């Protein structure tokens, strides 16, 4: 019986160290418009990812882009906070 309890304890310890910890990570994005008169940066969006830090950073980076719209040329930069 003691061996079963010891084995269960060891397996539990291994299982908790092997699995990645999923937490809520906030991804904050800002949008920067660039024109001939200068640039202006504004808060753009915020996302929350419940994942591992590595996966959350990757998902957050996927929101980074650049382009143009009615306001002119822009770039969107996102980072985990």
Total domains in the chain come to 1
The whole-number pLDDT of residue 21 equals: 86
In a domain, 4, yes or no: no
In a domain, 2, yes or no: no
The whole-number pLDDT of residue 20 equals: 64
The whole-number pLDDT of residue 47 equals: 96
In a domain, 32, yes or no: yes
Q: Which long-range contacts (CB under 8 A, 24 or more apart) does 30-34 make?
A: 30/76, 30/77, 30/78, 31/74, 31/75, 31/76, 32/74, 32/75, 32/76, 32/77, 33/71, 33/72, 33/73, 33/74, 34/72, 34/73, 34/74, 34/75
In a domain, 13, yes or no: no
Q: What is the pTM of this model?
A: 0.68
In a domain, 76, yes or no: yes
Give me the domain span that covers residue 39.
22-80
Q: What is the mean pLDDT of the segment spanning 62-77?
A: 93
pLDDT tens sequence across 8-54: 666 666 655 555 689 999 999 999 999 888 899 999 999 999 999 99
- Cβ neighbours of residue 67 closer than 8 Å, sequence gap 6 or more: 73, 74
Q: What is the mean pLDDT of the segment spanning 57-71?
A: 93
């Amino acid at each position: 019986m003691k061996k079963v309890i010891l084995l269960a304890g060891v397996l539990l310890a291994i299982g908790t160290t092997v699995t990645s910890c999923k937490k809520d990570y906030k991804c904050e994005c800002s949008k920067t418009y660039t024109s001939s008169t200068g640039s202006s940066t504004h808060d753009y969006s915020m996302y929350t990812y419940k994942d591992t830090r590595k996966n959350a950073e990757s998902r957050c980076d996927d929101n980074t882009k650049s382009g143009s719209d009615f306001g002119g040329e822009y770039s969107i930069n996102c980072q985990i906070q």
